[in-house]
Amino acid sequence: MSAQILDGKAMSESLRKEIAAGVESLRECTGVVPGLAVILAGNDPASEIYVRNKGNGCRETGMYSVTVKLPGDVTQETLEAEIDRLNGDERIHGILVQLPLPEHLDEARALARILPEKDVDGFHLLNAGRLMTGGDGVIPCTPRGALHMIRQTGMDLNGKEAVVIGRSNIVGKPMAMLLLRENCTVTVCHSRTKDLPSVTRRADILVSAVGKPGFVTADMVKPGAVVIDVGISRVDGKVRGDVDFDGVKEVAGWITPVPGGVGRMTITMLLQNTLEAAKKAARK
Ligand code: GUN
């Protein structure tokens, strides 16, 4: 039996239509146009592509967007001065500092400088804390997109075994928190986990975010499981996920492809977070 494909492209298209309608209705009712600012320091080619896609997403949904390009040797002070300026700009409801920053810059300090209500990445400590304690904070885009895809299976998540491979602040940890909020029994695995296949084979929902192409093989997957592949690696010029798609699709019940899976959803959720931030600002 072959798994059903969770199509991130189709899901994104339908969500972006809803977001565009939300943008239009906010503009009509309040005159507010949601605005996103992306700060890019340096000229990492992969980051430049992501940033361009974010700008395209804004245009597609009727949002205002600006990209602030800073040189690779920008100082921490200049970076933070840009963040302060955008914090004070009424046209901007969401600020995103593209990661990774050049090595000499302090990422944590930069992220802490963004006003929590403009932190559309959900990386500010206050938003991370709200996610952990059940408050109404901004949810990081990739885990939010992954959860949306899991929900599309129609599976009742209560009491399900969920296993997350990877413990990053951007994906693994917030993903685990979101699944916990859905009443899953959550296990977080990482590079020191002993006998990983014996853990992953328990998973009704398996999320992999390690960035190792083909890392999750069919023998690691429970028959019928929902398999969410967050990995994006480049192999011989091609984009590959963490999951050995051809093998795993014969065992899993649902699977996300790479490309065309979770990656597509990340920017869509960024647009959703920006719209929600603009709505909150308009209510004030
Ligand atoms: N770099 C790769 N993914 C992300 C993301 O989701 N947000 C930011 N700010 N930088 C990234």
Ligand 1 binding pocket mutation candidate from 98, 233, 267 (most atoms within 8 A of CB): 98
Ligand 1 binding pocket mutation candidate from 36, 96, 123, 270 (most atoms within 8 A of CB): 96
Q: Quick one: residue 227, left, alpha or beta (phi over 0 = left, psi -120 to 50 = alpha)? A: beta
Cα-Cα end-to-end distance for the chain: 53
List ligand 1's pocket residues with C-beta within 6 A. 96-99, 121, 141-142, 170, 266
Q: Which atom of ligand 1 is nearest to the CA of 47?
A: 1
| Residue range 142-197, pLDDT digits in tens | 999 999 999 999 999 999 999 999 999 999 999 999 999 999 999 999 999 999 99
| Residue range 99-151, pLDDT digits in tens | 999 999 999 999 999 999 999 999 999 999 999 999 899 999 999 999 999 99
> Cis peptide before 71, with omega less than 30 degrees from 0?
no
How many Å lie between the centroid of ligand 1 and the Cα of residue 251?
A: 31
Give DSSP secondary structure letters for 36-91.
EEEEEES--HHHHHHHHHHHHHHHHHT-EEEEEEE-TT--HHHHHHHHHHHHT-TT
Q: What is the overall mean pLDDT for the chain?
A: 97
Say what the pTM is.
0.97
Q: Report the alpha-carbon distance of residue 277 to residue 273 in Å, rounded.
A: 6
Confidence category of residue 284, pLDDT binned at 50, 70, 90: confident
Structural domains in the chain? Answer: 31-115 (3.40.50.10860), 141-262 (3.40.50.720)
Q: Considering only CA atoms, which of 226, 223, 235 is closest in space to residue 254? A: 226
pLDDT on residue 56: 97
Nearest CA to ligand 1 atom 4: 99
Query: Which amino acid is located at 39 in the chain?
Result: I
> So which residues are the catalytic ones?
54, 98, 121
Ligand 1 binding pocket mutation candidate from 36, 40, 50 (most atoms within 8 A of CB): 50
Segments in 201-261 forming alpha helices (H):
245-248
How many Å lie between the centroid of ligand 1 and the Cα of residue 26?
A: 27
E strands in the chain: 4-5, 35-41, 64-70, 94-97, 161-165, 185-189, 205-208, 226-229, 233-235, 238-240, 254-255
Q: Report the alpha-carbon distance of residue 106 to residue 174 in Å, rounded.
A: 21
Percent of the chain with pLDDT over 70: 100
Nearest CA to ligand 1 atom 11: 99
Q: Is the dihedral of CA 271, 273, 174, 248 positive or negative?
A: negative
| Residue range 58-109, pLDDT digits in tens | 999 999 999 999 999 999 999 999 999 999 999 999 999 999 999 999 999 9
How many Cβ atoms from other residues are within 10 Å of residue 213's Cβ?
18
pLDDT on residue 1: 67
Whether residue 279 has pLDDT greater than 80:
yes
